[in-house]
Structure 1
Amino acid sequence: MLLLKSIVLISLWAKYAGCSQSILDVLRQEIDYSTWNEDLEPVLANLTKQMRRQILPYAQEVLYDDEIPQECLQSFLRIASGLNDGKVWAMRFLDSSGGILPGMLDGRLASMGSYDQCLRIRAPEKNDPKKVAFAGQYCTASILMRRQPLLHRTLPSFIQQDPRIWELLGGGDVSYVLDLVEKSPVGYRVGICLPSTCDSSVISHLAKKFVGKYGISADVLGCRDQIKGRPPSTGTVICLVRVARCFSARANYLKITNTTLVPESRSLDCVHGIRALSALWILYAHVFVKDWGNTDSALTVAWMFKSPSGVIINQSLLALETFFALLGFTMYRIIAHVRKQTDMSAWKLALIVILRRAVRFIVTGMGAMAVFYVLPLITSGPSIDYMYPYLEKFCNVRWWSYAIFINNFWTMEEACVENQWYTAADMQIVCILILPICLLTREPGKSIRILLCLVGGSMVYVASLTYYYGAPPIFFLQPERVIATLHLAFHMHTHSLTHLSPAAVGVLGGYLMDKYKDVDLGSTVYRAGWILYSALIIAFGMASCIWNDRGYASVSESVLYAAISRPLWAASLIWLIYMCSCGRARLIRWFLSRPNFIVLSRLSLSFYLMQWPSLWLSMFSTRNPYSASYYQHLREFVADATFIVLGAWCLVLLFEAPATALDSLAFQSARKKGEAKLREEAATKLENMHPIPYRL
Structure 2
Amino acid sequence: MAIPKNIFFLILVITFLNKVPIGLCGSLEHPLVKIIKKVLDEKVISGRCAEALGIFLNNLDGVGGDDDIWALQMLDATAKVPVGLVSYSFGEIGHFYQCTEIEAKRENIKGKYCIGNIVINTSVAELYSRQFHNENMKYLVSKIGGSVKMVGKPSWAMCLPHNCNIRDTKILMNKSQPFGFGVNSVTCQTIEDVYPSLTRDAVIGMSILSFLTFIVLLSTSYDIFCQNNKKAHPGLIAFSLYTNGKKLFQNSQRSTNLTCLDGIRVLSMFWVIILHTWTVYTSGPVYNSKDVIKMSNSILSMAFINGDLACDTFLLVGGILVTYVYFKKHNAHSLGLSTIFQHYFHRIIRLTPPLAGVTLISATLLRYMGSGPNWPYIVNYFEGFCKKYWWSTLLYIQNEVNVNEMCVGHSWYLNVDMQLYVFSPLIFWILSKHSKTGITILILASAWSIFLGFLRAFEDELSGVHPNSFSKTPSHVYMNDYYLRTETRAAPWLIGTILGYLLTKKKCTDIYLPKKITIPMWILTFAVILLCVFGGFSTLRGPEYNKLQNAFYIAFVRPSFAMTVGWVIWACATNHGGIVNTILSLQIFQFLNKFIYSMYLIHVTSLYMIIFSTKTAVYISIFNLAYWFWGIFMFMFGISTIWVLVFEMPIVVLEKVLLPPSDTNEECMKAKSNKKPIV
Q: Whole-Å Cα distance in 2 between the matches of residues 105 and 53 of structure 1? A: 21
Paired letter, 2:158:
I
Paired letter, 2:354:
T
Deviating more after overlay: 489-498 vs 283-292:
489-498
Residue number in structure 2 paired with 1:89: 70
Residue number in structure 2 paired with 1:319: 310
> Does residue 116 in structure 1 map to residue 69 in structure 2?
no
Q: Deviations over 1:609-668 (max 9, x none)?
A: 111111121122111110121112222212211111111112212212222322232222
SS in 1 for 2:163: coil
Deviation, structure 1 residue 575: 1.5
TM-score by length of 1: 0.80
Aligned to 1:421, which of 404, 412, 415? 412
Aligned to 1:145, which of 107, 110, 120? 120
Deviating more after overlay: 522-531 vs 295-304:
522-531
Paired letter, 2:675:
I
SS in 2 for 1:463: helix
CA contact (8 A) 2:299 2:534 kept: no
Residue number in structure 1 paired with 2:56: 79
Distance change >3 Å, CA 271–CA 216, structure 1 → 2: same
Q: How does 1:579-658 map to 2 (within 5 A)?
A: 579-658=571-650
Distance change >3 Å, CA 472–CA 158, structure 1 → 2: farther
Deviation, structure 1 residue 110: 4.3
Distance change >3 Å, CA 487–CA 626, structure 1 → 2: same
Distance change >3 Å, CA 680–CA 622, structure 1 → 2: farther
Q: How does 1:130-209 map to 2 (within 5 A)?
A: 133-148=108-123, 150-151=126-127, 161-162=143-144, 166=147, 188-207=154-173
Deviation, structure 1 residue 482: 6.5
CA contact (8 A) 2:465 2:541 kept: no
| Structure 1 gap segments, 5+ residues each | 1-45, 127-132, 170-176, 672-676
Aligned to 1:300, which of 282, 291, 297? 291
Distance change >3 Å, CA 66–CA 449, structure 1 → 2: closer
Q: Whole-Å Cα distance in 1 between the matches of residues 641 and 614 of structure 2? A: 25
Q: Deviations over 1:182-205 (max 9, x none)?
A: xxxx95312211122332321123
Paired letter, 2:615:
R
Q: Whole-Å Cα distance in 2 between the matches of residues 490 and 298 of structure 1? A: 29
CA contact (8 A) 1:236 1:370 kept: no
Residue number in structure 2 paired with 1:3: none
SS in 2 for 1:137: strand
Q: Whole-Å Cα distance in 2 between the matches of residues 383 and 682 of structure 1? A: 50
Residue number in structure 2 paired with 1:59: 37
Q: Whole-Å Cα distance in 2 between the matches of residues 621 and 458 of structure 1? A: 40
Distance change >3 Å, CA 635–CA 483, structure 1 → 2: farther
Deviation, structure 1 residue 539: 2.5
Aligned to 1:455, which of 418, 423, 446? 446
Q: Whole-Å Cα distance in 2 between the matches of residues 473 and 683 of structure 1? A: 40
Distance change >3 Å, CA 662–CA 153, structure 1 → 2: farther
Q: Deviations over 1:28-70 (max 9, x none)?
A: xxxxxxxxxxxxxxxxxx9998639996796275167374233
Deviation, structure 1 residue 591: 1.5
Deviation, structure 1 residue 290: 0.7
Residue number in structure 2 paired with 1:107: 88
Deviating more after overlay: 316-325 vs 190-199:
190-199
Paired letter, 1:91:
L
SS in 2 for 1:316: helix
Aligned to 2:182, which of 205, 217, 227? 217
Bigger Cα Rg: 1
Q: Whole-Å Cα distance in 1 between the matches of residues 29 and 36 of structure 2? A: 11
Paired letter, 1:146:
N
CA contact (8 A) 2:382 2:407 kept: yes
Q: How does 1:336-355 map to 2 (within 5 A)?
A: 336-340=327-331, 343-355=333-345
SS in 2 for 1:222: strand
Deviating more after overlay: 437-446 vs 595-604:
437-446
Residue number in structure 1 paired with 2:559: 567
Deviation, structure 1 residue 524: 4.1
Q: How does 1:446-485 map to 2 (within 5 A)?
A: 446-477=437-468, 479-481=469-471, 483=473
Paired letter, 2:163:
T
Distance change >3 Å, CA 92–CA 465, structure 1 → 2: same
Q: Whole-Å Cα distance in 2 between the matches of residues 551 and 459 of structure 1? A: 26
Residue number in structure 1 paired with 2:371: 380
TM-score by length of 2: 0.82
Aligned to 2:46, which of 64, 68, 87? 68
CA contact (8 A) 2:462 2:472 kept: no
Deviation, structure 1 residue 558: 2.0
Distance change >3 Å, CA 142–CA 56, structure 1 → 2: closer
Q: Whole-Å Cα distance in 1 between the matches of residues 35 and 431 of structure 2? A: 83
Deviation, structure 1 residue 599: 2.0
Residue number in structure 2 paired with 1:172: none
CA contact (8 A) 2:287 2:618 kept: yes
Paired letter, 2:556:
I
CA contact (8 A) 2:93 2:157 kept: yes
CA contact (8 A) 2:325 2:671 kept: no
| Structure 2 gap segments, 5+ residues each | 1-23, 131-136, 217-238
Aligned to 1:278, which of 265, 268, 281? 268
Q: Whole-Å Cα distance in 2 between the matches of residues 427 and 54 of structure 1? A: 55
Q: Deviations over 1:167-193 (max 9, x none)?
A: x76xxxxxxx9xxx9xxxx95312211
Q: Whole-Å Cα distance in 2 between the matches of residues 74 and 270 of structure 1? A: 70
CA contact (8 A) 1:203 1:220 kept: no
Deviation, structure 1 residue 436: 0.9
Q: Whole-Å Cα distance in 1 between the matches of residues 177 and 265 of structure 2? A: 54
Distance change >3 Å, CA 48–CA 307, structure 1 → 2: closer
Distance change >3 Å, CA 527–CA 594, structure 1 → 2: closer
Deviating more after overlay: 56-65 vs 527-536:
56-65
Distance change >3 Å, CA 666–CA 519, structure 1 → 2: same
SS in 1 for 2:659: helix
> Does residue 660 in structure 1 map to residue 652 in structure 2?
yes
Q: Whole-Å Cα distance in 2 between the matches of residues 531 and 57 of structure 1? A: 66
Deviation, structure 1 residue 315: 2.2
Q: Whole-Å Cα distance in 2 between the matches of residues 54 and 329 of structure 1? A: 63
Q: Deviations over 1:525-580 (max 9, x none)?
A: 42443243233223224513333675666322222222222222222212212222
> Does residue 547 in structure 1 map to residue 512 in structure 2?
no
Paired letter, 1:243:
F
Q: Whole-Å Cα distance in 2 between the matches of residues 345 and 523 of structure 1? A: 41
Q: Deviations over 1:359-393 (max 9, x none)?
A: 22221111112332423222111111344224332
Deviation, structure 1 residue 141: 2.2
Aligned to 1:237, which of 191, 203, 214? 203
Residue number in structure 2 paired with 1:335: 326
CA contact (8 A) 2:170 2:186 kept: no
SS in 2 for 1:609: helix
Residue number in structure 2 paired with 1:576: 568
Q: Deviations over 1:314-356 (max 9, x none)?
A: 321221110000011111111102223x953255433322222
Distance change >3 Å, CA 219–CA 566, structure 1 → 2: closer
Residue number in structure 1 paired with 2:227: none
Distance change >3 Å, CA 220–CA 471, structure 1 → 2: closer
Q: Whole-Å Cα distance in 2 between the matches of residues 369 and 561 of structure 1? A: 35
